[in-house]
Amino acid sequence: MIGVIDYKAGNAPSVLNALRALNIKAELVSTPEALRPLTGIILPGVGSARATMDSLRELRLIPALEEKVFGEKTPFLGICIGMQILMEYSAEGETPCLGWLKGRVERFDGAVRIPQMGWNEVAFRRRDPILANLKEKEYFYFVNSYYVRPAAEEVVLATTNYGREFCSMLAWGPLYATQFHTEKSGAAGLQLLKNFALLAGGERDADETSHCLF
């Protein structure tokens, strides 16, 4: 079962809607206990790094998430703020983050409109199971004022240009993360979510009829 972490500032319902349209069994989770049986975890995010970190702490989810990802190697997908908080530190509100990956989160500089809002091109650097049936470059929907700067180049799976080149997707072991909103990126976004669900042992839901299946 895929679990989508639900917290007040997140957009978990949108991610759940997308998984349901793909006929993939998924549920909203907000307790450490509910994480245990999951074969894949999605951390969606909107809002600020600080609000997201505060919510995860309040829900006592951080040790349980670390056990799943680092202990059990459960596939994990962070989306938008859910990507940014994987770094050590975010310049947004000077927020210490999870530090699962070395690196920082920086603000786009003033030469571009902030937030970046819209469809931008994502160029993948290498093949990966999560990119099955996607072309080398695809358009995805972004809404962000900040971007990640991972310390290690090898975790960068894709880059995008907005005033500068930035890391728009990363992959390291069981960890995946997208700066773009894959749940709101039309056919390409649904394909990526489906790929994640498949590599995370997601089950097809026989009971629901889909109207947006690939």
Q: Which is nearer to other proteins, 37 or 115 (CB)?
A: 115
| Interface residue with other proteins, options 53, 101, 170, 190 (CB under 8 A) | 190
How many of the other CB atoms lie within 10 Å of CB of 211? 7
Q: Where are the alpha helices (DSSP H) in 59-111?
A: 62-66, 81-84
Q: Which is nearer to other proteins, 13 or 201 (CB)?
A: 13
Residues 122 and 139: beta-carbon distance below 8 Å: yes
Report if residue 13 touches other proteins, rule: CB under 8 A: yes
Q: What does the chain come to in residues?
A: 214
Ramachandran area for residue 3 (φ above 0: left; ψ -120 to 50: alpha; else beta):
beta
Report if residue 213 touches other proteins, rule: CB under 8 A: yes
Could you list the active site residues?
A: 80, 181, 183
Report if residue 94 touches other proteins, rule: CB under 8 A: no
Judged by CB under 8 A, the chain residues 97 through 156 that form the site for other proteins are 110, 113-121, 139, 141-145
Report if residue 32 touches other proteins, rule: CB under 8 A: no
The least distance separating other proteins from the CB of residue 141, rounded to whole angstroms, comes to 6
Query: What phi, psi does 141 have (nearest 5°)?
Result: -95, 125
The least distance separating other proteins from the CB of residue 194, rounded to whole angstroms, comes to 12
Report if residue 59 touches other proteins, rule: CB under 8 A: no
| Interface residue with other proteins, options 185, 194, 197, 200 (CB under 8 A) | 185
Q: Which residues pair with 29 in a beta bridge?
A: 5
Q: How far apart are CA 175 and CA 78, in angstroms?
A: 8
Q: Which residues pair with 104 in a beta bridge?
A: 89, 149
The least distance separating other proteins from the CB of residue 143, rounded to whole angstroms, comes to 5
| Interface residue with other proteins, options 2, 42, 43, 46 (CB under 8 A) | 46
Report if residue 14 touches other proteins, rule: CB under 8 A: yes
115: preceding bond cis by omega (within 30 degrees): yes
Query: What phi, psi does 83 have (nearest 5°)?
Result: -85, -45
How, if at all, do strands 2-5 and 116-124 pair?
Answer: unpaired
Q: Which residues bind other proteins (CB under 8 A)?
A: 8-9, 11, 13-14, 17-18, 20-21, 46-48, 51, 110, 113-121, 139, 141-145, 161-162, 181, 183-190, 211-214
